[in-house]
Amino acid sequence: MTLSLRVSAVATVVSLPLGIAVALALARGRFPGRQLLNGLVHLPLILPPVVTGYLLLLTFGRKGWVGQWLDQWFGLVFAFRWTGAALAAAIMAFPLMVRAIRLAIEAVDPKLEQAAATLGAGRFMVFLTVTLPLILPGILAGTILAFAKAMGEFGATITFVSNIPGQTQTLPSAIYAYMQVPGGDAQAARLVLVAIVIAMAALLLSEWISRAVARRIAGT
Amino acid sequence: MTLSLDLSHRFQGFTLEAAFTAPPGVTALFGRSGSGKTTLVNAVAGLLRPDRLRLSVAGEVLADTTAGIWQPAHRRRIGYVFQDARLFPHLTVRQNLLYGRWFAPKSPEAAQDFDRIVALLGIGGLLQRRPGALSGGERQRVALGRAILSQPRILLMDEPLAALDEARKAEILPYLEQLRDELGLPILYVSHSMAEVARLATTVVLLEAGRVTAAGPVAVMLAQPEHAQSLGLREAGAVLQGQIAAQEEDGLTRISTEAGPLWLPRVAGEPGRPLRLRILAQDVMLALQAPQGLSALNHFESVVEAVHLGDGPGAMVRLRAGDAAVLARITARSAKAMGLRPGLRLHAVLKAVSVAQENIGRGA
């Protein structure tokens, strides 16, 4: 249970800066390969999660080319560890996060950024003082959505890091495990309840935040 | 401070070729929509990169594309008041006003400036609000303050009043006049409203289909019959400088002008207060004899300088009255019947005169 929270939290927090950068590139960037990047980001959304997990195993596993390299240089191992579960969750949740943030960026009026430039703000300051505050609701929505998705990630996780109690057993894997053993139904039902509560809380929180922000901007 | 510019830019089958110098004071860039005004000011601000631009402000070259010089917008220190205010919705009015100060050179008078500009624009009561809760006129005043407080070297205004109704325009115009007269900041003012230009401008640059067709001081430009067509016939008219001579007992104010004395219903102010008067060409009647038994109070003795016949039934007549030029719009038939020709002496009868504040002492 706490493992699941930790996995999702780490997955969301670590992928957030990258998510903002990618969303920015997709929304504003004009560079060759933009469509390719777009496709790549969205791939985990369309691929069967098992395929994503398998690909992760190939690249980030102990024998995988990235995994080997990371192990050698940083001592960072993903395969069959909770960090691997976090990686799988992050990749699966990434499209949702990028999508929400990108929509928010596209809704920002570039005219406001121009106005900031005429007032003396350079590109970075414009982003920090105008764009970022204006897309904050989108970032929050994307983060919460990604968090919820990460909590529920199952297919890629179980393929990549298996289902080791105390190590890589996230909430959905635990539910799955309880359902496999006779008499585990009650345990499974308890966890299902927990999952529902967390999902509802995340949804309400994101609604509340976006409304609060809208109120602030309307100035009433 | 003077701005000079030489620009050419092609876009969507349209070529913009403009070169002019804007002396201190308000330079009005006048032209119909689609004549390239906004493109031009965007290039000055650095928001748009034209094919070729040479731009200097007070001798400093901000852009010279042939020499590869291009200062980005945020380094130019050129304030910009947009037609659609463009206030930052997530900041309060106070934060909006102070936004530019983060980036402006530090000045010890900054705090005083803030109080002065806030008072000048009458926005003291709005400081804690957010732009979403402001009216159109209030927003535009805040945008004006925000631009000024960023300590720009010049100020660009792109039709700052166009999105407002008449009442809101009337609310803001006096503030613009005060800014012009009190700050001594050069202003490039884009407009297609002759009324605004006549009231605010010191210099007029006429832009037609991407080309500068004429430029000069406002009184000279507005008194040219040949520009009447492009300025708009209904709006054509002369601008006179004057000052209050005396407040008379029957409620009238005597105003002395370069063309002669005028009497208007009470204009507030002490004797000596400078005024700018606008006399629309269509509000001027001509009489060969001194008018008698006529209710119109104001008339000037004048000499015909030029008669400009257009294609239609109208004629534009330029008169010299004292040291000033006055335009009259009459019918071509009357011009013929009266035998108008350059050098003819006659009387110009004024049906209406509009008055604006003018502080020549500190302006221009």
This complex has an ipTM of 0.78
Q: What's the distance, Cα to Cα, between the start and end of chain A in Å?
A: 41
Q: Residue type at B358? A: E
Write out the residue range of the structural domain in which residue A94 sits: 2-108+134-218
Residue A1 is predicted with a pLDDT of 62
* The last residue of a domain, from among B188, B218, B248: B218
Residue B184, pLDDT above cutoff 80: no
- Indicate if B139 and B283 belong to the same structural domain: no
Handedness of CA B215, B217, B220, B223 (dihedral sign): positive
Query: Is A65 among the domain residues?
Result: yes
Q: What is the pLDDT of residues A75-102, one digit of tens each?
A: 777 878 888 889 999 999 999 999 999 9
Of B45, B46, B133, the CB nearest to A219: B133
Total count of domains within chain B: 2
Residue B364 is predicted with a pLDDT of 30
Residue B103, pLDDT above cutoff 90: no
Cα–Cα distances (Å) from A102 to A98, A111, B295, B311, in that order, read: 6, 18, 70, 57
- Cα–Cα distance between B22 and B20 in angstroms, integer? 7
User: B77 to chain A: which residues are within 8 Å by CB?
Assistant: 120
- Cα–Cα distance between B178 and B167 in angstroms, integer? 18
Distance from CA of B296 to the nearest CA of A (A): 50
Query: Residues of chain B whose C-beta is under 8 A from some C-beta in A?
Result: 45-47, 72-80, 82, 84, 86, 88-90, 99-100, 102-104, 129-134, 146-147, 150
Query: Is B84 among the domain residues?
Result: yes
Total count of domains within chain A: 1
* B306 within 8 A of B225, measured Cβ to Cβ: yes
Burial class (CB in 10 A: 0-12, 13-18, 19+), A35: exposed
Q: Which of B302, B358, B307 is nearest to B325 (CA)?
A: B302
- Indicate if B208 and B249 belong to the same structural domain: no
* B259 within 8 A of B240, measured Cβ to Cβ: yes
- Indicate if B30 and B161 belong to the same structural domain: yes
Query: Is A114 among the domain residues?
Result: no
* A20 within 8 A of A139, measured Cβ to Cβ: yes
In degrees and rounded to multiples of 5, residue A109 shows phi and psi of -75, 115
- Cα–Cα distance between A153 and A144 in angstroms, integer? 14
A128 touches chain B (CB under 8 A): no
Residue B58: left if φ>0, alpha if ψ -120 to 50, beta else—which one?
Answer: left
Pairing of strands B314-321, B237-247: unpaired
- Cα–Cα distance between B4 and B196 in angstroms, integer? 23
Tokens of B220: 């000279």
Query: Is A28 among the domain residues?
Result: yes
Residue B87 CB coordination number (10 Å): 26
Which SS3 state, helix, strand or coil, does residue B262 take? Answer: strand
- Cα–Cα distance between A54 and B175 in angstroms, integer? 69
- Cα–Cα distance between A170 and A178 in angstroms, integer? 12
- Indicate if B191 and B133 belong to the same structural domain: yes
**H or E segment at B53?**
strand B52-57
Write out the residue range of the structural domain in which residue B147 sits: 3-218
Residue B362 is predicted with a pLDDT of 34
- Indicate if B31 and B140 belong to the same structural domain: yes
Confidence bin at A217 (pLDDT 50/70/90): low
User: B99 to chain A: which residues are within 8 Å by CB?
Assistant: 116, 119, 121, 129
């039934």: which residue's tokens?
B313
CATH number of the domain residue B135 falls in: 3.40.50.300
Q: What is the pLDDT of residues B299-355, one digit of tens each?
A: 889 999 988 887 778 888 989 998 888 889 889 899 889 988 899 999 999 888 888
Residue B363 is predicted with a pLDDT of 32
CATH number of the domain residue A73 falls in: 1.10.3720.10
* B61 within 8 A of B55, measured Cβ to Cβ: yes
Cross-strand pairs, B360: none
* A157 within 8 A of A91, measured Cβ to Cβ: no
What residues have CB less than 8 Å from B106, skipping those under 6 apart? none
CATH number of the domain residue B295 falls in: 2.40.50.100
- Indicate if B113 and B70 belong to the same structural domain: yes
Residue A168 is predicted with a pLDDT of 83
């004629």: which residue's tokens?
B315
Strand arrangement of the beta sheet that strand B324-331 belongs to? B284-287, B345-350, B298-309, B314-321, B324-331
Q: Do A118 and B89 touch (CB under 8 A)?
A: no
Ranges B101-105, B222-226, B241-245, B272-276: which has the least confidence: B222-226
Query: Is A115 among the domain residues?
Result: no
